Amino acid sequence: MSEREVLELLRENARYSAADIARMTDLDEAEVEAAIDELEAAGVVQGYQAVVDWDELEDERVRAEVELNVRLDRETGYADIAERLARFPEVTALRLVSGDYDFDMEVEGDSIREVSQFISEKVAPVPEITQTVTHYVMTSYKENGIEFGDGDDDDRLSVSP
Amino acid sequence: MTFELADRVQTVPPSGIRRFFEIAEERDDVISLGVGEPDFATPWAARDAAIASLEQGKTSYTANRGKRELRDAIADYVADRFDLGYDPGEEIIVTAGASEAVDLAFRAFVDPGDTVAIAQPSYISYEPGVIFAGGDVLPVPTKEDDDFRLTVDALEEAGAQDADVLVLCYPNNPTGAIMREADLEPIAEFVREHDQIVLSDEIYAELTYEGEHTSIATFEGMRERTIVFNGFSKAHAMTGLRLGYALGPADAIHAMNKIHQYAMLSAPTTAQHAALEALDSCEDDVREMVSQYDRRRQFVLSRFREIGMDVFEAKGAFYCFPEVPDGFTAEEFAEAVLHEQGVAVVPGDVFGAGGEGHLRVSYATGLQDLREAMNRLEAFVAAHG
């Protein structure tokens, strides 16, 4: 149960220190650290990353959502294809989904050219892949539960009853 | 010519909060722990419903007591959450904030010369409200030793047996104190024995962090003599929409409505649409906000203990009420910490008897700011230790 609470807080802000999490919960610092160790060891927590609004940076960052259709055969299942695709560092997310296509793949690169080349030269030729549809991300409004923008100004009165 | 002001208006001193507000507003590096309202925006579904109602042109008055649909929803909500049974036809009135409802009650039930006992420290509007209605205020100080709960001893010590009306606010602004069933039982007995009216401001009821809120109106023989106040400002983060309500026996609500229909006509219509949606579909948002407040509460209490300031374990609202370290009055401390560290807190004296020597610290602020504010407080205490 305590792990669940720690997980919730890390999902809110992975940079909360163990001491801060301890202050917010009934756990002490050592218990928080143990819970985090356990979550990591069990593979529940797979990593920690910053949530970035690329539009705020000068450097271009190109992202695309790619729909993939695949044909399975007796020797090749979804997991086999996924394993092969996931190895590419350009692929930042890969999910098997229900609906009109099979995989939902997120790809990142420094330019449209780089991403296009990656898809046409590395992804499309995979024999099981029958179709790719690439959507370039134009603007992101919300990622990982965090809304992008200037942030809300606190327009409350600074002291009120 | 100069306006001749009414005596009862002149009697009321300017709000003690105002001065701190002015100092805090002058600086732009202030982190304020002096705010008495949520830092969350109203849940989106409720805002969306308000917008939709405007688009549909629903901008006329409603029934004086509020839209029937909303009163039905309020009746279901208070029955479900707090075990309170009220008839939406006769026993509920929707008002412009719970503050309006409290004011209506003073005007409806207090005659000149009547004594209104107020458990203090408490929200700053009760005392002026009583004075505007022509009544006499009897402050009943609560004590830190009792975790700022009201006791029969405190009532008797203050002479409250002779009062006509008793005002309660639990969970409490500014202390964060709550009253459990066992704490309320003797108060209910006292009130019945002395045949008093109870005005119970339960606006922070949802913000109870251990156990469940109990209303004094649920005790035997209390419903007939109690008005319960609640609203959408705190739990549903709707302060600016101004929507509250009162629950009470039909004749009492009728009397309050008599004033309300002339003074206000009806509570803001757009806000009533938002409130209906808030009750319909925003329970998860409320739970999420409450869990956020609870974490911040524990964080702030832990930090005060680490800093070495005495603080009792507040279990409700979004305030804690630490003791000022030796060598300062509450006002001196609040002023110095605002000047030296840019942290705004409110001296406890502002909230009446029993508040001296304490500070109201609001944790209705994001954790990042809370963390920084507590670091600054720590530096201040270290520098003056």
The domain ranges of chain A are: 2-41, 57-142
- Whether residues B35 and A25 touch (CB distance < 8 A) is answered with no
Task: Tell whether B256 is covered by a domain.
Answer: yes
Host H or E run for residue A35: helix A29-41
Contact list in B for residue A24 (CB cut-off 8 A) is: 295-296, 298-299, 302, 367
For the segment(s) A57-142, the CATH number from 3.60.110.10, 3.30.70.920, 3.90.1150.10, 2.60.40.420 is 3.30.70.920
- Whether residues B17 and A24 touch (CB distance < 8 A) is answered with no
Given this model, what pLDDT does residue A58 score? 85
Domain C-terminal end among B263, B281, B299:
B281
Contact list in B for residue A157 (CB cut-off 8 A) is: 21, 35
Q: How far is A48 from chain B (nearest CA, A)?
A: 19
Given this model, what pLDDT does residue B24 score? 87
Q: Count how many pairs of residues, chain A against chain B, have C-beta atoms within 8 Å.
A: 56
Residue B75 has pLDDT above 70, yes or no: yes
Q: How far is A8 from chain B (nearest CA, A)?
A: 11
Q: How many CB atoms lie within 10 A of CB A90?
A: 18
Residue that the structure tokens 């305030």 belong to: B319
Query: Are B81 and B213 found together in one domain?
Result: yes
> Under an 8 Å CB criterion, which residues of B touch A?
15, 17, 20-21, 24-25, 30, 32, 34-37, 39, 41, 123-125, 173, 295-296, 298-299, 302-303, 344, 346, 367, 371
* CB-CB contact of B247 with B78 (8 Å): yes
Task: Tell whether B2 is covered by a domain.
Answer: no
Q: How many CB atoms lie within 10 A of CB B134?
A: 14
Residue pLDDT, tens place only, B106-162: 999 999 999 999 999 999 999 999 999 999 999 999 999 999 999 999 999 999 999
Closest to A80 (Cα-Cα) out of A88, A72, A89: A72
Considering only alpha carbons, which residue of chain B is nearest residue A154?
Answer: B39
Query: Are B320 and B336 found together in one domain?
Result: yes
Residue that the structure tokens 């009746």 belong to: B75
**How many domains does the structure of chain B reveal?**
2
Query: Are B142 and B259 found together in one domain?
Result: yes
Residue A153 has pLDDT above 80, yes or no: no
The strands making up A129-136's β-sheet, listed across from edge to edge, are A91-96, A103-109, A62-70, A129-136
Contact list in B for residue A7 (CB cut-off 8 A) is: none
Query: Are B146 and B85 found together in one domain?
Result: yes
- Reported as a pLDDT band with limits 50, 70 and 90, residue A1 is low
- Mean pLDDT of all residues in A64-68: 98
Query: Are B220 and B241 found together in one domain?
Result: yes
Residue pLDDT, tens place only, B13-61: 888 888 888 888 888 889 999 999 999 999 999 999 999 999 999 999 9
CA distance A127 to A130: 8
- Reported as a pLDDT band with limits 50, 70 and 90, residue A47 is very high
- Whether residues A161 and B124 touch (CB distance < 8 A) is answered with yes
- Whether residues A158 and B346 touch (CB distance < 8 A) is answered with no
- Whether residues A161 and B35 touch (CB distance < 8 A) is answered with no
Given this model, what pLDDT does residue B36 score? 94
Given this model, what pLDDT does residue B22 score? 87
Query: Are B76 and B217 found together in one domain?
Result: yes
Given this model, what pLDDT does residue B344 score? 96
- Mean pLDDT of all residues in B177-205: 98
Query: Are B118 and B25 found together in one domain?
Result: no
- Work out whether strand B31-32 and strand B244-247 pair parallel, antiparallel, or are unpaired: unpaired
- Report in angstroms the alpha-carbon separations of B258 from A127, A149, B266, B376: 80, 48, 11, 50
State chain B's mean pLDDT as an integer.
Answer: 96
Contact list in B for residue A158 (CB cut-off 8 A) is: 21, 24-25, 30, 32, 34-35, 344
Query: Are B232 and B371 found together in one domain?
Result: no
Given this model, what pLDDT does residue A42 score? 97
Burial B213-245 (b: 16+ CB within 10 A, else e): bbbbbbbeebbebbbbbbbbbbbbbbbebbbbb
Lowest-confidence region among B26-30, B82-86, B233-237, B282-286: B26-30
Task: Tell whether B370 is covered by a domain.
Answer: yes
Q: How far is B174 from chain A (nearest CA, A)?
A: 9
Considering only alpha carbons, which residue of chain B is nearest residue A153?
Answer: B39
CA distance B53 to B57: 6
CATH code of the domain in which B273 resides? 3.40.640.10
ipTM comes to: 0.84
Helix, strand, or coil (residue B182): helix
Domain C-terminal end among B281, B312, B342:
B281
Residue pLDDT, tens place only, B276-335: 999 999 999 999 999 999 999 999 999 999 999 999 999 999 999 999 999 999 999 999
Query: Are B38 and B80 found together in one domain?
Result: no
Query: Are B261 and B163 found together in one domain?
Result: yes
- Mean pLDDT of all residues in A21-46: 96
- Whether residues A159 and B21 touch (CB distance < 8 A) is answered with yes
CA distance B170 to B34: 19
Q: How far is A124 from chain B (nearest CA, A)?
A: 42
CATH code of the domain in which B14 resides? 3.90.1150.10
Query: Are B269 and B131 found together in one domain?
Result: yes
β-bridge partners, B320: B361
Residue B176 has pLDDT above 70, yes or no: yes
Contact list in A for residue B173 (CB cut-off 8 A) is: 161
- Mean pLDDT of all residues in A82-109: 97
Task: Tell whether B181 is covered by a domain.
Answer: yes
Given this model, what pLDDT does residue A59 score? 84
A38: which residues sit within 8 A by CB, 6+ positions away? A3
Residue that the structure tokens 């610092």 belong to: A29
Given this model, what pLDDT does residue B13 score? 87
CA distance A12 to B327: 40
Task: Tell whether B329 is covered by a domain.
Answer: yes
Q: Which domain holds residue B363?
A: 7-42+284-384
Percent of chain B with pLDDT over 70: 100
Query: Are B74 and B38 found together in one domain?
Result: no
